[in-house]
Chains A and B, each alone.
Chain A
Amino acid sequence: MLFVAPLVVLLLIFVYAPIGRLVYYAFTTYDGLKPPQWVGLDNFAFLASWPDFRRAIGNTVVLTLGVIVWVGLPFLLAVIIHGRRSANLVRAILFLPALLPALIVGRAFRLVLAEQGPINEALRGLGLDLLAQPWLASETWVLPTIITVIAWATMGTGVLLYSAGLASLSSDYVEAALVDGARWRQLVWHIYRPALGPVTRFWLLLLTIGTVTSFFPWILGLTQGGPGTASVTLDYQVYRSGVQTSRLGLASAIALVGVLVVAVLLVVQLVMRRVRGSDEW
């Protein structure tokens, strides 16, 4: 017990005490300078009736659906390049975007995806005017576009994780399946998918939590929440309310909702592990 005491103290000071303050502020009005004033559940009542907050929740849920792409695409790519001669080179190239800060990638894509940007100009140049869209300026396209940009940026990390999983997979399973006449599609579904299950669950959880807590730099770089509030997410709304308009009580309440969502996701994941009767992810 004595050995873990320093760690416990550090955790209390730097993790749990701030969370405790956050919970307290969520029930106050606080502008950062005057002492917080207790308002009970007023902040949450306001959130319940605030269209912007509902929109932020809705946007976050829609973006969370992007995990299907963010997980599925790297899985397929990792399987495709597995065992090939140039696999390391491909992995390195795919991983490069992960080294760039999200804000910078967002800003760059903002230029690339502009109405008169290179993508639309290229489409128009090919006579495909109908396909040129206001990717980030249209309420219809903005969320799918964000999902696509994030897929590009996170693909390398996903491929790396899956490649690590594949490296630890015994080739006996694959060879046995091939001897039995399995096709590539059957290999993917019956061998690789279950074998990489722990990686998938881990990556899925990481990305899902990320949509609630770490989307801020993407949104700031790509859309600043726009057009209107069409791409405001929970964590971007925390920035808007807390930093831009100095309503720290309200921002804390929004953040607390985010923490609760993450906690629920973790509990669900824990329950699933118990149901599987496994210590694996």
Chain B
Amino acid sequence: MFHRTPSGVSAARRARTLTALSLSALLAGTVGMSTVSAQDAPSGDISFFGWDVADLTSGLGLGFQTAAMSFTAQNPGVNVTFDAVPFADFVSAATSRARAGTLGDVVEMLPGLNHAPVFAALEATTPADWGDLATELSGWGGGVIDPADPNTVAGVPIGGQGVIWYYNKALFEQAGLDPEAAPGTWAEFTAAADALKAAGITPVAASGVDSFLAWWAWSSFSPQYFTADEVLQVRSGEIPLDDPRVLASLQPVADMFAAGYWNSDYADKSFTDMESAFINGQVAMIPGVITSIVNWKAWDGSALGPEGYGVFGAPKRDDATSDGQFFNPTLIYGVNAASENPETAKAFIRFLAGVEGQSILLAQSGQFPNRADVDLATYASPGAQAIQGVIDSRGASDVIQNQFSAAAQGEAFQKLTQAIVSGDLATFLGDLQAQQGS
């Protein structure tokens, strides 16, 4: 979800472009080209506004670039350009551009309410407006503009996202643990972490600079205390953030810190630092996501390799009242209400959401599909298959991580690590609730 540092090398870019073109040709042959008749063929220039497209040579940027090339190859009258903004400044940049009339035709957004201020600049829509996609895609709830009207959405959900735990098999073995036995319960998790610690290995990765790893860890435990409906009730305000269940879902993360499982230099580390540390075997377990960053695709292409890591869902706590795994759309794609070429923008979104688009995004960027007819086995590694196994066995909740407003989420990222370190979780959640309601 967050763009990587550009690392474009011209030779590498050329090689990737060739690979992308080959893949496009392959996909066109295997899944069928989504051609349209000449009379309604999309045409004209459209721009794609988002943060994932700052680097078109890796991550989601590479997937979008490849998809755009395939789309324009099938629709010669179309030109797709990418307009990138930093993730942290996305909302202010999008609203400023909308006021100035320079917002892109296709607008990328996080699901949920984080980018809610941008909704007003978009063409409100309903799943039915998108024909077959209404039933083919899961996760339409991620684009709901107003919980009171669940049928009106800001855009189309594309991709599948969730939080998952990864572990380094070699480090498990080094600590005398079975590298094929991922922890399933809290007792198994703490036993493994204690064994790792005793072997001089840092058990759990944490990143105090941005709090993202703690946030993902927290989100991994939430489905043990909330059903999907209850998570949405948090969003609508029916369940406040100082509800005891919110505290219970955060407690495991605090327990990890209290037990000394975090890397000692957590305060100076960002999540990308710890991504590297996991790859380099400096930390045994890391909470991550299943699409984009800190994920299986990053491990597959690294020194760790596809066989070097395992995955597990959040270990089950003794006081858990539920069980599950968040699995929600990666991102939402809306059409600028002031677009001069809305039909072509919609055609591009349809292409991205279709079998061909999602296959490209899976193969190039490691983005999980949110449609059942994309064959994961064809394009993904054992790590991705294992994640699908967790989703299948625990049951996927069709909601985004924790459901906070932009203000509350900003507050959480600013204070989460410090709240865990201080142990004063109740005050932290009280502050979050004040922001959620503000």
Contacts and interface: CB of A to CB of B under 8 A. Distances in A.
Interface of A: 31-34, 46, 50-52, 110, 114-117, 134, 136-137, 139, 224-230, 232, 240, 242-247, 250
Given A229-B414, A240-B414, A116 B268 contact: yes
Contacts of B411: 52
B92 A228 contact: no
Interface string B68-106: 000000000000000000001101100110110000000
A115 B98 contact: no
B170 interface: no
Contacts of B426: none
Given A226-B208, A242-B92, A243-B92, A31 B265 contact: no
B418 A228 contact: yes
B431 A52 contact: yes
Contacts of B417: 226-228
Contacts of A136: 267-268
B267 A228 contact: no
A224 B413 CA distance: 11
Contacts of A250: 438
A15 to B, nearest CB: 20
Given A226-B414, A246-B406, A114 B434 contact: no
A51 B427 CA distance: 11
B406 A229 contact: no
Given A226-B418, A246-B91, A240 B268 contact: no
A52 B268 CA distance: 22
27 contacts: A32-B92, A32-B96, A33-B118, A34-B117, A46-B438, A51-B431, A116-B268, A134-B267, A136-B268, A137-B268, A224-B209, A226-B417, A226-B418, A227-B208, A227-B418, A227-B421, A228-B414, A229-B415, A232-B414, A242-B92, A243-B92, A244-B406, A244-B410, A245-B406, A245-B407, A246-B91, A246-B92
Interface of B: 88-89, 91-92, 95-96, 98-99, 116-118, 120-121, 208-210, 264-265, 267-268, 406-407, 409-411, 414-415, 417-419, 421-422, 431, 434, 438
A36 B238 CA distance: 27
A226 B96 CA distance: 28
Nearest to B88: A244
Contacts of B406: 244-246
A137 B267 CA distance: 6
Contacts of B434: 50
B264 A115 contact: yes
A218 to B, nearest CB: 16
A244 to B, nearest CB: 5
A243 to B, nearest CB: 5
B415 A246 contact: no
A265 B91 CA distance: 34
A116 B265 contact: yes
A232 B413 CA distance: 14
A136 B269 CA distance: 12
B101 to A, nearest CB: 12
B100 to A, nearest CB: 11
Contacts of A230: 418
Nearest to A137: B267
A245 B267 contact: no
Contacts of A246: 91-92, 95, 117, 406
A115 B262 CA distance: 14
A62 to B, nearest CB: 18
A230 B92 CA distance: 25
A264 B422 CA distance: 37
Contact of A114 (B92, B95, B96, B268): B268
A127 B246 CA distance: 45
Contacts of B431: 51-52
Best-buried of A115, A228, A230 by chain B (most CB within 10 Å): A228
Contacts of A244: 88-89, 91, 406, 410
B91 A32 contact: yes
A225 B208 contact: no
Contacts of B95: 31-33, 246
A32 B90 CA distance: 12
